[in-house]
Amino acid sequence: MSYALYTVDAFAAKPFSGNPAAVCLLPEAAPADWMQSVANEIHLSETAFLVPGDDSFGLRWFTPKIEVDLCGHATLASAHVLWETGTVPAADSLLFATRSGLLGAEQNGEWIRLDFPGDPPHECEPPSGFEQALGGRVSWFGRGKDYEFVEVATEAELRGLRPDFRALKELVPVGVCVTALPDSGPYDFMSRFFAPGAGIDEDPVTGSAHCSLAPYWSERTGKSKLLGYQASARGGTVRVSLVGDRVAIEGQALTVTRGELL
């Protein structure tokens, strides 16, 4: 049996930017160890597996090393594939049943809007040796549900970070979101995301991190709608807005490859 397999650049307006995710359409649930092996074979930051249900699609995400509870860019990629292939009519909204509950997706012009849970980070002390491992000075340190959260003083410091990934992996179980205010517009905040514990030294664009970035910067700027830029080598633009205790995350996506998993 073969399965449809797609590679999608998520949070991208042009090819070879944003964050590539693989999307695999399955007729029924598959064993977790098989999905993990497929994700390791494909070796992108995330591979998404979709299984149709009565009112929603089952959705699971795997890095090359682990299964994760929440992934933004692979959810965006999954929604894009379902609409682009005609599996779901373009006018219909989507629901995904995941380890983080039900997640929604709908089209908003050329953008896709995701409905994700908010995850405001809580301030705490960084572990000993963290600044040395990160390669920069910490202005604010906290934790969200799944990863550490750091603000640095300037955009230049953010862009200039060169972490010691081996040391960072010892201090941070999964990953760390690092953020700063930009020097100038149009963005309201900038970020980078390092996840050596998940087998990804630097993630190009991390949708789930915006569950923390949105409430953090909304509180500091007084804005409920913000525009963010993840300053990785590939780069990606993310629109966010607060909706109660949820975060609307918007991005663009395009299919780069179509094929079969044999």
The pair of three-digit structure tokens given for residue 184, joined into one six-digit string = 């100038």
The pair of three-digit structure tokens given for residue 225, joined into one six-digit string = 């709608």
**Residues 174, 177, 178: CA angle, nearest 5 degrees:** 140
| C-beta of residue 182 within 8 angstroms of C-beta of residue 155 | yes
Element (H, E) at 179: strand 176-180
Element (H, E) at 168: helix 165-171
The pair of three-digit structure tokens given for residue 223, joined into one six-digit string = 């804005």
Q: Single out the catalytic residue among 46, 151, 155, 250.
A: 46
User: Which amino acid, residue 169?
Assistant: K
157 annotated active-site:
no
Reduce the DSSP state of residue 156 to 3 states and report it.
helix
**What is the rounded CA–CA span in Å between residue 245 and residue 117?**
7
* Phi, psi of 131, rounded to the nearest 5 degrees: -60, -40
- The number of beta carbons lying within 10 Å of the beta carbon of residue 69 is 14
| C-beta of residue 177 within 8 angstroms of C-beta of residue 213 | yes
Q: Are β-strands 57-62 and 67-68 bridged in parallel, bridged antiparallel, or unpaired? A: antiparallel
Question: Catalytic residue numbers?
Answer: 46
